[in-house]
A and B are shown apart, each in its own frame.
Chain A
Amino acid sequence: MNMLESIRVALEGIAANKLRSFLTTLGIVIGIAAVIAVVAVGQAGRALLMSEMEKVGTNIFAVMVNWRSGESFTGREFALQDAEIIKSRVPEVSHLSPLSSTVADVRGTRKNRSAQVFGASGDLVHIRKFNLKSGHFFSAEDDQGRRRVAVLDQELAEDLFGRADPVGQKLVIKNTPFLVVGVIAKGDSVLGFGESPKIYIPVQVWQYIFSPYVSYLEGSAASREQVDTALSQTIKVLERRHQAAGRYNGVSMEQQMQTANKVTGVMTLVISAIAGISLLVGGIGVMNIMLVSVTERTREIGIRMALGARRRDILVQFLIEAVVLCLLGGIIGMSLGIGGALLIAKLAKWPPLVSWWTVLVAFAFSAAIGVFFGILPANKAARLNPIEALRRD
């Protein structure tokens, strides 16, 4: 029989039992809606994470002590000169800064509070791509000259100095006065990178005030492609200089992004799979109602067979009915899922992201459910004996 006619008959059957058809497809509706929403939210979240990480920089890397070696921290793992020496020997490394950090009390003109105090070289401004609201970052000369200058982030500046521009003001860190030379503008990060109050001072001053060690190195490669080489070469130089193979460990933003990508992907998959269980339940519901339909319409099947319908025609007709039922559920579920995803994106102020392939997959999947769960009832219908079917009421 003609495909269009089968679809027409299916739609008429669905229209004749509206409530029943709706309840039957509810499982499919919920399943498809849930999967689409989860995938869309997952993708949006991932895209957001990636763009944030890209904002931080795809070419940056850090080298720290490999604690797995079981040795305790001595403070001699990094030397102050390491960064400059590595920069001169590894062409892939464009900037490299030693970093030390601690939490200390900081006093401004308005009040005092504790903040994270970083010791770094002038390279840090290039690595982190700091955007200065006012003033400037300290330079290599500031570091060499052990000048007591400080750069702080906007939030901390407002906290310590109020609305006035703090550049040129005095700041006291652990009883040592500093001159504020720059304020870092607040980033537009949604994920909260760089939210805790931070102060940057030249690393040599930091060592003088706090303790004579470097916690880790942070650097940037000339390009994203050169990060891996830059990182491995940096570690090689460090191992040679300190005669400590396996003592250093590196991590790059590139690796972090790949990991984050993988993690969010797996999470989306897992949640989708759970949501997909609803599809399974929905499919069983469709199978159930199709079996009822075959029983109810046994006589119709007998009539059609008497009029010349082959078993294949009957099979196809009931399969199409199951598929149409599932597709209707799929379309409703799709609209709900897309609506839900857009709503979540709006509430969370994320970019809306529903990819066309999700919709396509959902569509194909609901059709597949129809075929899979429709085959048993359709087969039952096709196997009926026409004489007995005609006798049935």
Chain B
Amino acid sequence: MIELKGLGKTYSQGVHPVVALENVTLSIGPGEFVAVMGPSGSGKSTLMNLLGCLDTATSGSYILDGVDVTRLGDGELAAVRNKKIGFVFQAFNLLPRMTALRNVELPMLYAGVTPGERRERALKALEVVGLAARVHHRPSQLSGGQVQRVAIARAMVNQPVILLADEPTGNLDSRSGGEIMSIFQELNRKGATIVLVTHEREIALHASRILHFRDGRLTDDEKNQAPHQAALISVPGPQPDSREVASP
């Protein structure tokens, strides 16, 4: 599914080039739930950007779903992001003026899906994350946990080959965070491949494999035999206590 060989990224800002990622070689198979851990500056964000095709590597190769994406141009990378990758961000990154439904429809817009099918698939995706009753709410009318669930629906709606989550619980209280983790585990059980970046071991332990990064290098590839099971609370279904204060 993901095949990295000697992947590296060097920023040539100013006089001194900065090595953000160096010689990363690893492979992630379909259906894996991988956590990426490391302190800030360890290169995990750079890895995330490279995996997400938001950035291009300066050395090595990255084969995603059989395609060497290091050789692709801007337009093709956009298509890869659209069809093969789903993003979940720490800051949620929903468009504030749009309803949950339209936010989830967004990736399909760029995929050229017809309006009728867009709506149908978006509704289904929102139902999967337990927000069928909130499709016409704007992000400001939803709690932080609900907003992140909309973001997960948006990430999954184009049926990507990989789901990339960058500190998805970082802006949430532990209860909402637990909900999000349980959704990820549920998606993973149904076959989704997930790469999750976090600096919290608690969160990382929900994954079955933990990659440790330090100073731009992959330092450890840890197997987690018994992943923490997030309590599956009331997902899907209506939320009895749905209004929490969304963290900024």
Tell me if B233 counts as interface (CB < 8 A to partner A). Answer: no
- A300 surroundings in chain B (CB, below 8 A): 95
Q: Name B82's closest neighbour in chain A (CB-CB).
A: A308
Report yes or no: A307 in contact with B97, Cβ–Cβ below 8 A. Answer: no
Report yes or no: B81 in contact with A307, Cβ–Cβ below 8 A. Answer: yes
Shortest CB distance B154–A (Å): 7
Tell me if B49 counts as interface (CB < 8 A to partner A). Answer: yes
Q: In the complex where A386-B54, A387-B55 touch, is A299 in contact with B93 (Cβ < 8 A)?
A: yes
Among B107-115, B124-132, B207-215, the stretch in contact with A = B107-115
Report yes or no: B107 in contact with A390, Cβ–Cβ below 8 A. Answer: no
B 129-167 contacts with A by CB, 8 A: 154, 158
Report yes or no: A1 in contact with B54, Cβ–Cβ below 8 A. Answer: no
- A303 surroundings in chain B (CB, below 8 A): 93-95
Shortest CB distance B164–A (Å): 10
Which of B55, B75, B78, B83: most chain A CB closer than 10 A? Answer: B78
Report yes or no: A307 in contact with B87, Cβ–Cβ below 8 A. Answer: yes
CA distance A386 to B87 in the complex (A): 13
Tell me if A310 counts as interface (CB < 8 A to partner B). Answer: yes
Tell me if A309 counts as interface (CB < 8 A to partner B). Answer: yes
CA distance A300 to B111 in the complex (A): 18
- B184 surroundings in chain A (CB, below 8 A): none
Checking B89, B93, B97, B107 against A308 with a beta-carbon cut-off of 8 angstroms, the contacting residue is B107
Checking A12, A306, A310, A386 against B75 with a beta-carbon cut-off of 8 angstroms, the contacting residue is A310
Report yes or no: A309 in contact with B49, Cβ–Cβ below 8 A. Answer: no
Residues of B in contact with A, size category: 20 to 34
- B109 surroundings in chain A (CB, below 8 A): 1-2, 5
Report yes or no: B78 in contact with A310, Cβ–Cβ below 8 A. Answer: yes
- Give the A-B pair count, Cβ closer than 8 A: 61
Q: Name A13's closest neighbour in chain B (CB-CB).
A: B97
Shortest CB distance A320–B (Å): 14
Shortest CB distance B37–A (Å): 21
Q: In the complex where A306-B81, A311-B78, A387-B54 touch, is A1 in contact with B110 (Cβ < 8 A)?
A: yes
Checking A12, A307, A386, A390 against B110 with a beta-carbon cut-off of 8 angstroms, the contacting residue is A307
Report yes or no: B110 in contact with A310, Cβ–Cβ below 8 A. Answer: yes
- A12 surroundings in chain B (CB, below 8 A): 97
Q: In the complex where A12-B97, A390-B89 touch, is A308 in contact with B55 (Cβ < 8 A)?
A: no
Tell me if A304 counts as interface (CB < 8 A to partner B). Answer: yes
- B81 surroundings in chain A (CB, below 8 A): 305-308
A 203-255 contacts with B by CB, 8 A: none
Tell me if B204 counts as interface (CB < 8 A to partner A). Answer: no
Which of A306, A309, A311, A386: most chain B CB closer than 10 A? Answer: A306
Shortest CB distance A343–B (Å): 40
Shortest CB distance B62–A (Å): 16
Tell me if B52 counts as interface (CB < 8 A to partner A). Answer: yes
CA distance A303 to B78 in the complex (A): 12
Report yes or no: B52 in contact with A308, Cβ–Cβ below 8 A. Answer: no
Report yes or no: A307 in contact with B54, Cβ–Cβ below 8 A. Answer: no
Q: In the complex where A387-B49, A387-B55 touch, is A16 in contact with B79 (Cβ < 8 A)?
A: no
Tell me if B220 counts as interface (CB < 8 A to partner A). Answer: no
Checking B55, B74, B154, B158 against A310 with a beta-carbon cut-off of 8 angstroms, the contacting residue is B74
Tell me if B106 counts as interface (CB < 8 A to partner A). Answer: yes
Instruction: Give B81-111 as 1s and 0s: 1 = Cβ < 8 Å from A's Cβ atoms.
Output: 1110001010001110100000000110111
Report yes or no: A308 in contact with B74, Cβ–Cβ below 8 A. Answer: no
Q: Name B248's closest neighbour in chain A (CB-CB).
A: A393
Report yes or no: B106 in contact with A304, Cβ–Cβ below 8 A. Answer: yes
B 209-229 contacts with A by CB, 8 A: none
- B154 surroundings in chain A (CB, below 8 A): 307
Shortest CB distance B138–A (Å): 12
CA distance A75 to B94 in the complex (A): 94
Tell me if A313 counts as interface (CB < 8 A to partner B). Answer: yes
Q: In the complex where A307-B107, A308-B81 touch, is A390 in contact with B55 (Cβ < 8 A)?
A: no
Report yes or no: B75 in contact with A308, Cβ–Cβ below 8 A. Answer: no
Shortest CB distance B114–A (Å): 10
CA distance A93 to B118 in the complex (A): 80
Instruction: Add 11 more A-B contacts to A303-B93, A308-B110 (CB < 8 A).
Output: A1-B109, A300-B95, A303-B94, A308-B82, A308-B107, A310-B110, A311-B75, A312-B75, A313-B78, A387-B55, A390-B93
Supply 5 A–B pairs (Cβ within 8 Å), ascending by A.
Answer: A2-B109, A12-B97, A303-B94, A310-B74, A390-B89
Closest 7 CB pairs of A and B: A308-B82, A308-B110, A310-B78, A307-B107, A303-B93, A308-B81, A386-B54
Chain A positions near chain B (C-beta within 8 angstroms) = 1-2, 5, 12-13, 16, 299-300, 302-313, 386-387, 390
Chain B positions near chain A (C-beta within 8 angstroms) = 49, 52, 54-55, 74-75, 78-79, 81-83, 87, 89, 93-95, 97, 106-107, 109-112, 154, 158
